[in-house]
Amino acid sequence: MRYQNATAYRFLAPYLLIFSIFWLWPIISSFLISFQATRTVPWRFAPTFNWGRLIGDPAFFNALKNTLLILVIQVPVMITLAIVMAVLLNSPLLKARGLFRFAFFAPVVVGEVAYSAVFRLMFNLDYGIINKLLNSVGLPRIDWFSNVTPAMGVIMIAVTWRWAGYNAIILLAGLQSIPQDVYEAATLDRVSKFKQFFYITLPLLKPIIVFCAVLSIIGTMQLFTEPFLITERGGPGGGTETLGLLLYRQGFRSLNFGYASAIAYTMAGLAIAISLVQLWLTRDPK
């Protein structure tokens, strides 16, 4: 090895050491554990024990269904909202742009427990502001946390509130990288602002939109905090249990690490597969 390379690796060594212990080893270890029966002592190698259970487990399919439901509804809504927010933030007519940019980004830095508690209060049956607003316009109040559909709605609203601004900021950076003279050329070509958005902005923003979508897909596949804290461990009756929550329940409540590892690998595999399909669908035609 050349001297310069050796020096570089010496500088990298502390990071590589920590990465190996706390990242690489758990990744490998959990993969191996997923092939072991961990409900017995000592653990024994049984390749079909966890993976076989996964295929026939109604709890797994319930969690998978919930996760995918959130994915197909919440992610497109959030990305659309983020694009609208980014376009508004980018408008030269907007005053106090810095303030809005901060306000949109703020939810990401708010503590998860605090924001979950606030959402629980807002959607409280008797005292929540949402039900009070519904009542004030003559609509009946909704028992948000006792029925599956409204509970799922709360989860989606909460996740959207938390991450839409974050995605809007990323999209805003993309918007600002589109040269102004392209729009000026279109203006001279008598292309309306509306058509400019659909025929110029969206196609040129596509790589950033795909990036945000892939990030969101990965995030949603791992969704844990909201169903854990807002709908109280995936309630009502597992109606909002996600794969992340099922993993936690199996691993850290039932201490069934083998099955939890199999679930974790399934989540990762699904996230990669969905992201690849997304990338393939939105690829640039040659």
Partner 1 sequence: MAAVRLKNVVKRFGGFQIIHGANIEVDDGEFVVFVGPSGCGKSTLLRMIAGLEDISGGEIAIGGKVVNDVEPADRGIAMVFQSYALYPHMSVEQNLSFGLRMNGNPKADTERRVNRAAEILRIAELMKRRPRQLSGGQRQRVAIGRAIVREPQVFLFDEPLSNLDAELRVQMRVEISRLHKELGVTMIYVTHDQTEAMTLADRIVVLNAGNIEQIGAPLDLYDDPANRFVAGFVGSPKMNFMAAKVVGNDGGAVTVELANHCGAKLRKPLSGAPPAVGSEVVLGVRPEHFFEAGEGDCDIAIKADVAEHLGSVSYVYASAGASAGASAGPNPGQEELIIEREASRQRANGDHMVVSIKAGRSLLFDKSGARIR
Positions touching partner 1 (CB under 8 A) are 179, 181-182, 184-191, 195, 199-200, 203-204, 206
Q: Please state the closest distance from residue 208 (CB atom) to partner 1, in A.
A: 13
Phi, psi of 128 (to 5 degrees): -70, 145
Q: Please state the closest distance from residue 215 (CB atom) to partner 1, in A.
A: 22
Q: Please state the closest distance from residue 182 (CB atom) to partner 1, in A.
A: 5
Q: Please state the closest distance from residue 209 (CB atom) to partner 1, in A.
A: 13
Q: Give 184 or 232: the residue with its C-beta nearer to partner 1.
A: 184
Q: Give the span between the Cα atoms of 46 and 36, in whole angstroms.
A: 5
Token pair of 194 as six digits: 């509306």
Q: Which residues pair with residue 44 across a beta bridge?
A: 37
Q: Give 97 or 206: the residue with its C-beta nearer to partner 1.
A: 206
Q: Please state the closest distance from residue 149 (CB atom) to partner 1, in A.
A: 40
Q: Give the span between the Cα atoms of 32 and 51, in whole angstroms.
A: 12
Q: Give 148 or 186: the residue with its C-beta nearer to partner 1.
A: 186
DSSP state of 36: E
Q: Give 197 or 265: the residue with its C-beta nearer to partner 1.
A: 197
3-state SS, residue 45: strand
Q: Give 2 or 286: the residue with its C-beta nearer to partner 1.
A: 286
Kindly report the number of other CB atoms within 10 A of residue 245's CB atom: 23
Kindly report the number of other CB atoms within 10 A of residue 277's CB atom: 11
